[in-house]
Amino acid sequence: MKRRPLLAGNWKMHTTVAEAHALAVEIGKCSEGLDDRDVILAPPFTSIHEVASVLKDSCVEVVAQNVCWEEQGAFTGEISPLMLKEAGVTSVIIGHSERRQIFSEDHELINKRMLGALKYDLKPIFCIGETLAEREGSKTFTVLEEQLKGGLAGLSLRDMQKTVIAYEPVWAIGTGKTATKEQAQEAHAFIRKLLSEMYEKDIADTIRILYGGSVKPDNVDELMAQSDIDGALVGGAALDAESFCRIINFI
């Protein structure tokens, strides 16, 4: 089944407002005419409103890098779904490996964020992936299953129709190492099969699964040629307009 490609740029904790403005302008230009794929950008919270304003007449959507499950309250350092929607956000990244590894977010907390985002009609981009030790210990599939079942607990069929999955092998994020196209396809196929067992095949066949982990202009074409890879979650290369423009214009 052919699914609509989705190319996402995650700027992480990079770019001032001025830098974000300039980068968004360039990406907006090179996305003109792309009507067969979706392009989204996740700038820092401080730049969301600016980037959304720059891209308001383009095909590029603006998403957030995280979200709280409550609309307001005593949650210092968090950001509410209503604040994000007011700033122009449509989707949110949840469960990124850096949130799991650096900030110790567990399945329960990630699941709360998932359910909170959906409650307020924000579409989740749910990230999963194994560490190098887990891959070398032949635990990849076990880890992916635990993360999927933990993070998606309580999500309905309707919720899943709004959800994107991103497979990010932790050992390939920001390291310059990339899973081979065969390794990436194998993981994506496993994820889709598990989703069909957790929900139903028709749902699993329509869910977009992105690959994240040192995606670059010179490997995006072969990754996107794989049958179960529906897009890319791009980090470092998304901070360079020329590189990201080549990625979103993959062949």
Place of tokens 């904790």: 13
Q: How is residue 65 written in tokens?
A: 């890098």
Answer for the pair 228, 1: CB distance below 8 angstroms, yes or no.
no
pLDDT the model gives residue 134: 93
Which run of H or E residues covers position 42?
Answer: strand 38-42
Asked if the model's pLDDT at residue 91 lies above 90, the reply is: yes
- Kindly report the average pLDDT of the chain as a whole number: 96
Residue 145 designated active-site? no
177 pLDDT higher than 90:
no
Catalytic residue among 98, 134, 168, 188: 168
For 6-248, CATH number out of 3.30.70.100, 3.10.129.10, 3.40.50.300, 3.20.20.70 equals 3.20.20.70
* pLDDT recorded at residue 251: 81
| Catalytic position from the list 50, 61, 96, 134 | 96
What is the sign of the dihedral through the CA atoms of 164, 233, 47 and 74? positive
Report the SS3 class of residue 9: strand
The model's confidence at residue 172, banded by pLDDT at 50, 70 and 90, is confident
Check residue 19 and give its pLDDT: 98
Active-site residue 96, yes or no? yes
Cα-Cα-Cα-Cα torsion 60, 103, 132, 188, nearest 10 degrees, comes to -40
Digit-coded pLDDT (tens) for 8-46: 999 999 999 999 999 999 999 999 999 999 999 999 999
Question: Confidence band (pLDDT; 50, 70, 90) for 137?
Answer: very high
For residue 36, the model assigns a pLDDT of 95
Cβ partners under 8 Å of residue 81, min gap 6: 67, 68, 71, 92, 116, 117, 119, 120, 122
* 174 or 49, higher pLDDT: 49
Question: Is the model's pLDDT at 171 over the cut of 90?
Answer: no
CB neighbour burial string for 101-110, b if at least 16 within 10 angstroms, e if fewer = eeeebebebb
Question: For residues 120 and 83, what is the distance between their CA atoms, to the nearest angstrom?
Answer: 11
Q: Which amino acid is at 157?
A: L
Distance between CA 195 and CA 205 in Å, rounded? 9
Instruction: Please tell me the predicted confidence (pLDDT) of residue 173.
Output: 76
